Amino acid sequence: MHLRDLVASRLVEALNRAQSDQTLPSVPVPDAMVERPQNVDHGDFASSAPLKLARTMHMNPMEIAEKLAALVGTDQEISAVEVAAPGFINITIAPGWLQEQVNDILAQGDAFGSTETGKGQTIQVEYVSVNPTGPLHVGHARGAVLGSVLSSVLGAAGYEVSREYYLNDAGNQIDLFHQSLFARYLQALEKDGDMPDNGYRGQYLIDLGQEMAEIHGAKFFDMKSDKGAVALGAIGIERMIENIKEDLGSLQVGFDVWFSETSLYTDNYYDTVMKMLTDGGHVTQREGATWFGSSALGEEKDNVLIRSTGVPTYFASDAAYHYHKFVIRGFDRVIDIWGADHMGHIDRVKAVVGALGIDSGKLEVIIGQMVTLKRGGETVKISKRTGDMISLKELVEEVGSDACRFFFLARSADAQMDFDLELAVKESQDNPVYYLQYAHARLAGILSNAAEGGKTFDQGDVHLLSTPEELTLIRHLLMLPEVVDSIVETMEPHHLPHYTMELATAFHSFYDRCRVITDDEALTSARLKLCEAARIGFARCLSLMGMNAPDKM
C-alpha cells in the first residue's frame, strides 16, 4: 500500500469511528478522501472531505474537520493534523518516518516503485499492429511508445503483461501489396508491370522490386498465372515484417507475441465465431453481404462481416481475434491501442465482444491522436501511398530514441500533437530529456566517487537527512508507487515523464544545496544512502519509460 492510500484509509477509519459513536451523522463517505496539495505549506496531504460532507451532514465544515482531525490523531507516521478554513484537514507526514523510508527503498532495490494492484491478473496490451505493407511512420511511433510504456507500468503494478502485435497478414491490403511488389519487380526486369489502382507507390517498393529482381532473376516471372505474384509477395511481406521489427527495435519497442491474422482462419476460430454470432441471432443477410446486427445492440448501424464477394472484412477478423484473446487465451483485461483513424471502430468491436458473451468492460481501447510532423514550422505530409513521408526510422535517426520516446510520452494520448523535427533536435542540446538523465549521471558520479574514496554507507544514519531539500527529495521518491497506480487507473502514461521531471527538480536542488562527500563521515554516509535511493528511483523511472540511464554525460 502506498502512502496516499495509507493516509486515505486513516481518514476513512476516523470517519467510520465518528459515525459509529454518533460523533458525526451517518452519511455516505466521499470517493476522494485525500489529495496532494499544491502548496507545501498545506502539508503532505490534504482532505476536503469536511467541505464535501457539510451538505449531507447539515453541519458546519469547520466543525466536521475539527472532530475528524482529532480522531485521526498523530503517531509515528503522521506528525501533524491541522484544520484550515473553510474546512480542510492538512496532514503532515513525520520527518522521522520519511527518513526511514530511505532504508526501505534500498531494501527494495530495483523493485522500488512496484505495487501489487494487478497481482494475479493477466492483461494483454496490443499496439502498433500496422499492416506489414510498408514502413512504419511517425504516427505509428506514438502508439508504439504509448504501448510499450503502458506495458512496463502495468508490469510494475503487478499485472502479468503480454505485449502483442497483431499481424494483418490476410485480406485485401495484402493482395494489393503482392500485386504492387510484383509490378515493381517486373519493372525492374524491364518487363510490363502494371501498378494496380491504389497500389503501394512508395519508393521502398521500387527498391524492393529491384532487389528481388537482382536476387531471384526472372524466377517469379516464369511462374504460371498469379503464382509468381503470391510467391514473391510472401517473401516481400516477410521482409516488411523484418524491417518493422528492426525499426521498432531502434525505438526500444518490443513484443512478446506476434499474432497472425491468417491463423484465425486456418485454426477455425473465424468459423467458430461466425457460428456463435449466427446462433446468437446477431447475423443477417442483406444485399448479398453478411451483416452483424449491431443496430439491435444500440449501435447506429449494422456492420458488414462478409462482403458480397465472399471475402470477410477486417471487422470479422477482429471479432475472431478478440474471441481468441478473451476466450481461448483467457486474459482478464485487454488494452487495444489504435490510431485516431480507428475511432469509429471502437463501438462495433465492443458490441461484437459483448455479443460473444464476453464482458466488454474488460476491453479498453486507447486512441492515440494524430501526430502532425513539422520541420521548421512547415507541415510534412504523411502519405503511405505516395512515398512522400518521414518514416519512423528517419525520425529515430534524426532525433534519437530517448528524445522521441520522451516527446511522445509527455503528451496525453488523446491530445493531437505537433512534432517539430527541427525543434526536437535543437532542444536536444538543452532539453528535458537531458535534465532527467543528467540527474542519474550526477548520482552515479557521486556514488562512484565515494566508492573510489573507500566510503561506504551501509551504516549511514538516515535520521541525519533533515534539510528541507533532503526531505523534499525523499517525499518525491515516495510518490513513485502512487504514480504507477494512478497510471494504471487512468491508463495515462504521460504522468510518468512529468513526475520524473519533478523528481529531477527535487534532486538538482538537493545537489546544489547539500554537498554529499565531505569530512563529516556520518553525514556523508547518510547522504550517500539517499543518493543510492534516488539513483534507484531515477533508474526505475527511466527504465519504465524505455530510456537510457547514463552513468556519465
Partner RNA sequence: GUCCCAGUAGCUCAGUGGAUAGAGCGGCUGCCUUCUAAGCAGAUGGUCGCGGGUUCGAAUCCCGCCUGGGGCACCA
Compare residues 37 and 118 and give the one whose CB is closer to RNA. 37
Compare residues 188 and 390 and give the one whose CB is closer to RNA. 390
Closest separation between CB of residue 188 and RNA, Å?
A: 27
- Type of residue numbered 56: T
Task: Determine the Cα–Cα distance for residues 248 and 239; give it in Å rounded to an integer.
Answer: 14
Helix (H) or strand (E) holding 123: strand 122-126
Compare residues 259 and 511 and give the one whose CB is closer to RNA. 511
Compare residues 22 and 38 and give the one whose CB is closer to RNA. 38
Closest separation between CB of residue 434 and RNA, Å?
A: 4
- Would you give the DSSP letter of residue 89? E
Closest separation between CB of residue 314 and RNA, Å?
A: 4
Task: Determine the Cα–Cα distance for residues 138 and 9; give it in Å rounded to an integer.
Answer: 44
Beta bridge partners of 277: none
SS3 49: helix
Beta bridge partners of 163: 125
Task: Determine the Cα–Cα distance for residues 350 and 107; give it in Å rounded to an integer.
Answer: 44
Compare residues 76 and 429 and give the one whose CB is closer to RNA. 429
Intra-chain end-to-end CA distance of the chain, in Å = 36
Closest separation between CB of residue 48 and RNA, Å?
A: 3
Compare residues 19 and 472 and give the one whose CB is closer to RNA. 472
For 231, the grid coordinates are 510467391
- Give the residue among 145, 140, 143, 139 at the shortest CA–CA distance from 370: 139
Compare residues 26 and 60 and give the one whose CB is closer to RNA. 60
Compare residues 190 and 430 and give the one whose CB is closer to RNA. 430
Q: How many CA atoms lie within 13 A of 275 on its CB side?
A: 5
Compare residues 245 and 455 and give the one whose CB is closer to RNA. 455
Compare residues 186 and 424 and give the one whose CB is closer to RNA. 424
Task: Determine the Cα–Cα distance for residues 164 and 250; give it in Å rounded to an integer.
Answer: 18
**How do strand 333-339 and strand 363-368 relate by DSSP bridges?**
parallel
455 with 528: CB under 8 angstroms? yes
Closest separation between CB of residue 284 and RNA, Å?
A: 12
Closest separation between CB of residue 459 and RNA, Å?
A: 18
- Find the angle CA(421)-CA(546)-CA(414) to the nearest 5 degrees: 60
Task: Determine the Cα–Cα distance for residues 347 and 159; give it in Å rounded to an integer.
Answer: 26
Closest separation between CB of residue 521 and RNA, Å?
A: 13
For 200, the grid coordinates are 503501394
Q: How many residues are given for the chain? A: 553
For 219, the grid coordinates are 524466377
Task: Determine the Cα–Cα distance for residues 281 and 304; give it in Å rounded to an integer.
Answer: 15
Closest separation between CB of residue 415 and RNA, Å?
A: 4
Closest separation between CB of residue 301 and RNA, Å?
A: 7
Closest separation between CB of residue 163 and RNA, Å?
A: 21
Q: How many CA atoms lie within 13 A of 341 on its CB side?
A: 6
Compare residues 54 and 186 and give the one whose CB is closer to RNA. 54
* Backbone torsions φ then ψ of 454, nearest 5 degrees: 70, 20
Helix (H) or strand (E) holding 435: helix 432-452
Compare residues 432 and 546 and give the one whose CB is closer to RNA. 432
Compare residues 191 and 513 and give the one whose CB is closer to RNA. 513
Whole-number CA gyration radius for the chain: 29
Compare residues 188 and 424 and give the one whose CB is closer to RNA. 424
151: left (phi over 0), alpha (psi -120 to 50) or beta: alpha
Closest separation between CB of residue 370 and RNA, Å?
A: 5
Closest separation between CB of residue 211 and RNA, Å?
A: 25
Place of cell 574514496: 453
Task: Determine the Cα–Cα distance for residues 452 and 465; give it in Å rounded to an integer.
Answer: 23
Closest separation between CB of residue 524 and RNA, Å?
A: 8
Closest separation between CB of residue 339 and RNA, Å?
A: 8
Task: Find the DSSP H helices in 251-391.
Answer: 261-266, 269-279, 314-323, 346-355
CB-count exposure of residue 182 (10 Å: 0-12, 13-18, 19+): buried
